[in-house]
Amino acid sequence: MQKTLSLVVRLAIVAAVVTGLTACATVKPEQLAAVEAKASSAMSEARSASSAAKSAMDAATAASEAAAKAQGTADAALACCGENKDRIERMFEQTMKK
């Protein structure tokens, strides 16, 4: 009798543990919907960040092109300045020879 009672108590405890573990393992529809909403929100933010990064890359490319043009203009001005300096020096030398 005592063995049977002990066996019944053990089985009840095992059943309670299994039931408890099963209840923890199930996902409720509300929880799944919340996870899906968070995933959707994260995907939307990722797309927004990607779009912002593309815009920044486009702006950086345009700035780089403008800087290259400015460098070309500066190089041309420097070359012109060098030519003018040489011309002035030649004129000064000719004036000094006279």
Torsional sign, CA 86, 87, 92, 94: positive
Q: Cα separation of 9 and 3, whole Å?
A: 10
**For residue range 8-50, what is the model confidence (pLDDT) as tens digits?**
666 677 777 766 666 555 778 888 888 899 999 999 999 999 9
Q: Residue 5: pLDDT above 60?
A: no
**For residue range 42-98, what is the model confidence (pLDDT) as tens digits?**
999 999 999 999 999 999 999 999 999 999 999 999 999 999 999 999 998 888 886
- Amino acid 29: pLDDT: 82
**How far from chain centre, in Å, is Cα 35?**
23
